[in-house]
Amino acid sequence: MSSMRACKRSAIALLLALSFLLPVGGPARGAESPPVPSLPFERVSPEAKLVQLSLEECFSLALINNLDIEVGQYIPDINAAGVDVQKGIFDPVAFFNATYMKDIFPLISSQSVSTGGLSSVELDEWILSGGITGVIPSGMTYNASLTSTHIPFSTITDALGTNGEQEFNASLTFTQPLLKNFGVDVNTTGIRVAAKNTEASFYQLQQTVIQTLFSVEQAYWALVGAYENVRVQKDALKLSQDLLDQNRIRLRVGVIASLDVLQAEVGVAAGEEQVILALYRVLNARDQLIQVINLFPGRVNWDNVEIMPSDSPSQRPPTEYIEGDQIMTGLRNRPELKQLLIQEEAAELNAHFTKNQLLPTLNLNATVGLIGLDSDFNSAVLFGVPTSPHTGIDPAWDDLVSGDNFQWMVGLTFQIPWGNEVARGQYEAANLQVGQIDTSAQNLRLAIVQDVRSALRMIDTSWKIVVASKETTRFRRESLKANQKKYEVGLITAHDLLLFQNELAAAEVVEVVAITSYNISLSNLRRATGTLLQFLNVQVAAGS
C-alpha cells in the first residue's frame, strides 16, 4: 500500500515537473515557433535548463514531495493502528488442545495385594479440549470450554472387562472485578487514549504542513531577492564600467589624470566582485528552494537547472490589524496548542485509570458445568446393575446433555498489595504529567501571544522600511545624477562619483531586502495566527 502511494506521489511530481519544463523546451519539429515570453529576471546560467515556478506551484510541489510532510503523514496512521491494538484486547480467543499420555504407576505391596496382585497400573489417555475465552469492556473475563477425556486402555478397565473410559466436561467460568478494573470507563482507557493520540497527531501534521509552506514562501522570496540583487549589482557594475570607459577617453584627450582611470578600474573590480557574490547567493537560494519543495526526488545534483521565480512580491500597504483579534485567532487556531490540549485530555484519562488501580482487587467468580461419563465405566458396572442403552452419538455425551451431573460454584477473591507502592507511584506520576502538560499549555499560550505581537510589529516595521528605502533609493538616484554632472565639469573626482554609485547600489539592495522581508512578514503573521492553511485553501484531514 505504501509503495503504491509512493508511486502515485512520484507520478504526480513527475507530471508537474514536466508541465513546468515543457514551455522552456523548443517547439515540436514542423511546428511554428511560439513567441518567447519575457522573463522577469536576467538569466544567471544561460546554458542550464530553465524552470520557471510560481509560488503556488512551489506550494503544490511541497505538499506532494516534501519529506517532512511525508514523515508526518505516517504518525496519524501509526496512532490509528494503536486504536485497533487497544480494541483488539476485547477480541475473543478460540483455543484447542490435544494431549496424549501414557503412564505406568508402580504399586506398593499393600496396594498390590488389594488389587489382586498387580505390581503396577498402566494408563493410556487422550485429552481433547477446546473453547473460547476473552474479556468484555466491563472487565469481566470469561472462559467457555469443552473437554473430552478418553482412556482406551488401562489396567483397571482391562480387569473389569470394559471397553475403556470416556468423559465429557463442559464448563463456563466468569470473573467480574468489583473494585479494581471495574467498569467500561476504566477498561476502555487504552482505546480512548489511543484515539486522543490519533487526533493530536493530525494537529501535529498540520503544524508540519504550516511550517513547511512557510519555509517554501521564505525560500521563494529569498530567491526573488537574490535575483533582484544580481540586477542591482550588474547595474552598479555597468555604471562603473561606463565611468571607466569615459575616463579612458578623457585621459586620451588629456582632460583628466591617470589616477581617475585607476580609481574607475578599482570601482569596476569591486563591482565584479559584488556580482560574483550575488550569483553565489542565487545558487544558494535556488538550492534552498529545491530542497524544501524536493523538486527532484532522488537526485542529488541539479547544477544544470536554473530555477527562476515567476511571481513578483507584493508592494501593497498592509491592511489594518487589531492586535487583540489576531491574538485570539492565534489562540484558537494554532495546531500545536490544540495538540497539547488533546494530549492533556489523554493524560487525564490515564490519571483516572491509575486512580482506579489504587483500589484492592475484589472479584466475583462463578463457574457452571456439566459432566458426562461413559455408561460402560461407572458404578453400575461395579455393582452389577444393568445400564440403559444410550440413544445419542456417545454414552458419555448422552450423560452430559442429560443435565444429571450439574455443578456450579460461586465465590469472591480479595487481594491487596502490602503498601500498594506501585499503584501509588503510577497515580502520582500520571497526575504530575497532567500538571506538566497544563503548564506547557500555559507557556505555549504566552509564546503564541508574543509570536503574534512580534509578527504584527514585523509587518509594520517592514512596510515602513519599504517606504523609507524607496525614498532613499530615489534620493540616491537623483544625487548620483547631480554629481554625475559635477564630475563632468570637474567639480568632483572619480573616487567621489564611485562613492555615490555605491550608495545607490546599497540603497537598492536595502529596498530589495525590505520588499522581500515585507512579503515574508505577511506570511509569518498567517503562520503565527494558524491561518496559513485556510489562506492557501489547504486541508489536513484523515486520509489526506
Q: How confident is the model at residue 294 (pLDDT cuts 50, 70, 90)?
A: very high
CA atoms within 13 A on the CB side of 184: 0
Q: What is the pTM of this model?
A: 0.79
Q: Report the distance separating Cα 285 and Cα 282, nearest Å.
A: 5
Helix (H, G, I), strand (E, B) or coil at 167: strand
Mean pLDDT for the stretch of residues 208-220: 96
* In 324-478, beta strands by DSSP E: 361-373, 406-415
- Looking at residue 97, its pLDDT comes to 93
- Looking at residue 400, its pLDDT comes to 66
Question: Do the Cβ atoms of 212 and 165 come closer than 8 Å?
Answer: no
147-177 pLDDT, tens digit each: 888 777 566 655 555 556 777 888 899 999 9
- Looking at residue 489, its pLDDT comes to 81
C-alpha cell at 198: 490519533
From the list 236, 260, 263, 241, the residue with the least C-alpha distance to 250 is 260
Q: Report the distance separating Cα 84 and Cα 80, nearest Å.
A: 7
Backbone dihedral region for residue 254 (phi beyond 0: left; psi -120 to 50: alpha; all else: beta): left
Task: Determine which of 157-171, 317-331, 383-397, 525-539 has the lowest per-residue pLDDT on average.
Answer: 383-397
Number of neighbouring beta carbons within 10 Å of residue 386: 7
113-143 pLDDT, tens digit each: 566 666 666 777 888 899 999 999 999 999 9
| pLDDT > 80? residue 60 | yes
| pLDDT > 50? residue 393 | no
| pLDDT > 90? residue 459 | yes
Helix (H, G, I), strand (E, B) or coil at 47: coil
CATH architecture of 2-23+47-81+201-233+271-347+430-536: Up-down Bundle (1.20)
Task: Determine which of 49-58, 92-101, 151-160, 186-195 has the lowest per-residue pLDDT on average.
Answer: 151-160
Q: How confident is the model at residue 542 (pLDDT cuts 50, 70, 90)?
A: low
From the list 126, 186, 122, the residue with the least C-alpha distance to 157 is 122
Helix (H, G, I), strand (E, B) or coil at 386: coil
| pLDDT > 60? residue 20 | no
Helix (H, G, I), strand (E, B) or coil at 489: coil
62-98 pLDDT, tens digit each: 999 999 999 999 999 999 999 999 999 999 999 999 9
Provide the residue ranges of all domains of the chain, joining segments of one domain with +: 2-23+47-81+201-233+271-347+430-536, 97-135+140-180+365-415
Q: How confident is the model at residue 511 (pLDDT cuts 50, 70, 90)?
A: very high
Q: Report the distance separating Cα 340 and Cα 130, nearest Å.
A: 48
Q: Report the distance separating Cα 231 and Cα 326, nearest Å.
A: 37
Question: Do the Cβ atoms of 17 and 58 come closer than 8 Å?
Answer: no
DSSP letters for 92-134: -EEEEEEEEEEEEEE--HHHHHHTTS-SEEEEEEEEEEEEEEE
257-286 pLDDT, tens digit each: 888 889 889 989 999 999 999 999 999 999
